[in-house]
């Protein structure tokens, strides 16, 4: 692992700003060499998915916290590690990069990875702001021949296969609403998302300024670093953690556009632990397709769990642990209920990414789905923070 001293010395001597040209096209049987930027808890999960894909080789990792690089060495002892991700991107032998950094850093790492000629697996939510989404789109459009998979894993699930089949074969009529829930609970004294602060979380072992990104400078704060999901500077709260997954599934399945208006209310009703993001919330997305999406979520009771109900005047599709179609008997009397049965491997989304890197085919969650989902999520956050409804201008591509 590069030491902090070596890192500072290397930066002082100058780091090349012109990155590599695009990597060569891979054949169907070529081995994919990949690295990861941000191998934290989530990063290590998707890293293991990638390692378990056939004909892949994990060769490099970058993280601003020394502990993460030590943890990566425990997974793959021979992997190269860096505290500055730009050194990883300079390695022309690396074909693909997994990005699993905090949400406010996605744009920086995504744009740099594409500029370096890498294929990219980008964890959700793809973009932190509208400006970031546009910058990422420009980078993607300029990155000819590069595969980009956005980390909405349910787009590669058996449930997606079932949903698409049901939408094709079963009568739904006019779909006017989708009702979504995402409820969780944790034991008293164990707040949702809260992570412990370890003694080595200090300014010596964490590159604090790199963590801040384009946010204003502030003194080192270990709690803000490890519990970044609590703070608006780095996180979109549960909208960016879970609403994005549920919205992206149906945005893909139904080919939905960016909402015309989003309203979000709620508050910090349960966990008074210094977090800024709400633990209880209600969001409505008014779709240009004349459809209302509602998303209700909270961290104080898990009875309602997670699920979605797609409501048409001729049928209903319910998504929970399985997909189920139920006809609306008032209009459709001759159709039985239908239960989905398709399955997929736990790492199906990563397998799809690697396959598309080789084939050049469009991945299961392409950039455009990630873009539309990101805008919808940002609108929800802005509505909550500003205390009013937020609208989208599709011509100017701006929120107001």
Long-range CB pairs of 304-309, under 8 A, 24+ apart, other chains included: 304/181, 304/183, 305/181, 305/183, 306/181, 306/182, 306/183, 306/242, 306/246, 307/180, 307/181, 308/178, 308/179, 308/180, 308/181, 308/246, 308/249, 308/250, 309/178, 309/179, 309/180
Judged against a pLDDT cut of 70, whether residue 224 lies above it is answered with yes
**Residue 277 and residue 144 share a domain:** no
What mean pLDDT is reported for the chain? 94
pLDDT of residue 13: 37
Query: What average pLDDT does range 287-298 have in this prediction?
Result: 98
Residue 259, domain member (yes or no): yes
Neighbours of 199 (CB within 10 A): 7
pLDDT in tens, 131-164: 999 999 999 999 999 999 999 999 999 999 999 9
Q: Packing angle between helix 244-254 and helix 367-386, nearest 10 degrees?
A: 130
**Residue 237 and residue 132 share a domain:** no
**Residue 248 and residue 131 share a domain:** no
Task: Name the token pair of 273.
Answer: 């632990």
pLDDT in tens, 1-57: 444 544 443 443 344 433 444 445 666 668 999 999 999 999 999 999 999 999 999
Which residues, listed in sequence order, are joined to residue 148 by a DSSP beta bridge?
Answer: 120
**Residue 168 and residue 144 share a domain:** no
More confident residue, 310 or 19: 310
Residue 356, domain member (yes or no): no
pLDDT in tens, 343-352: 999 999 999 9
Residue 210, domain member (yes or no): no
pLDDT in tens, 164-173: 999 999 999 9
The pTM assigned to this predicted structure is: 0.93
pLDDT of residue 29: 66
What is 316-374 written as a DSSP string? EEEESSSEEEEE-TTT--S---EE------TTHHHHHHHHHHHH-PPPSS-HHHHHHHH
**Residue 315 and residue 173 share a domain:** yes
Residue 218, domain member (yes or no): no
pLDDT in tens, 85-102: 999 999 999 999 999 999
Provide CB contacts within 8 A for 336, sequence distance 6+.
327
pLDDT of residue 16: 40
What is the distance between the alpha carbons of residues 322 and 290, in angstroms, rounded to a whole number? 27
Question: Into how many domains does the chain fold?
Answer: 2
Q: What is the CATH number of the domain that holds 185?
A: 3.30.360.10
């Amino acid at each position: 692992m590069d030491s902090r001293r070596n890192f500072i010395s290397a930066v002082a001597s100058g780091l090349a700003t012109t990155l590599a040209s695009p990597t060569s096209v891979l054949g169907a049987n070529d081995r994919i060499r990949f690295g990861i930027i941000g191998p934290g808890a989530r990063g290590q999960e998707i890293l293991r998915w990638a390692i378990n894909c056939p004909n892949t080789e994990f060769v490099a990792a970058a993280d601003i916290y020394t502990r993460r690089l030590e943890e990566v060495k425990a997974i793959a002892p021979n992997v190269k590690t860096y505290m500055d991700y730009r050194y990883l991107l300079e390695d022309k032998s690396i074909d693909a990069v997994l990005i699993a950094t905090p949400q406010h850093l996605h744009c920086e790492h995504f744009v740099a990875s594409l500029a370096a000629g890498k294929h990219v697996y980008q964890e959700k939510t793809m973009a932190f702001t509208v400006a970031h989404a546009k910058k990422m789109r420009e980078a993607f459009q300029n990155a000819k021949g590069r595969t980009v998979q956005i980390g909405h894993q349910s787009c590669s699930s058996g449930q997606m296969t079932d949903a698409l089949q049901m939408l094709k074969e079963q009568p739904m009529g006019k779909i006017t609403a989708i009702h979504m829930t995402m409820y969780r609970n944790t034991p008293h004294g164990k707040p949702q998302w809260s992570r412990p602060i370890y003694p080595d979380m200090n300014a010596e072992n964490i590159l604090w300024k790199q963590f801040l990104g384009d946010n204003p400078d502030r003194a080192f704060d270990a709690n803000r670093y490890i519990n970044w999901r609590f703070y608006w500077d780095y996180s979109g709260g549960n909208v960016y953690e879970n609403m994005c997954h549920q919205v992206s599934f149906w945005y893909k399945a139904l080919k939905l556009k960016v909402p015309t208006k989003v309203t979000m209310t709620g508050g910090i009703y349960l966990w008074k632990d210094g977090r800024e993001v709400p633990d209880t919330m209600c969001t409505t997305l008014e779709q240009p397709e004349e459809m209302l999406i509602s998303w209700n979520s909270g961290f104080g009771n898990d009875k309602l769990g997670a699920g979605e109900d797609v409501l048409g005047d001729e049928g209903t599709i319910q998504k929970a642990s399985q997909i189920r179609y139920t006809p609306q008997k008032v209009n459709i009397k001759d159709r039985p209920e239908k239960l989905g049965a398709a399955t997929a491997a736990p790492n199906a989304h990563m397998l799809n990414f690697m396959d598309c890197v080789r084939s050049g085919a469009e991945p299961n969650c392409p950039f455009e789905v990630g873009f539309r989902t990101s805008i919808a999520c940002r609108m929800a956050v802005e509505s909550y923070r500003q205390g009013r409804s937020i609208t989208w201008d599709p011509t100017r591509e701006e929120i107001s």
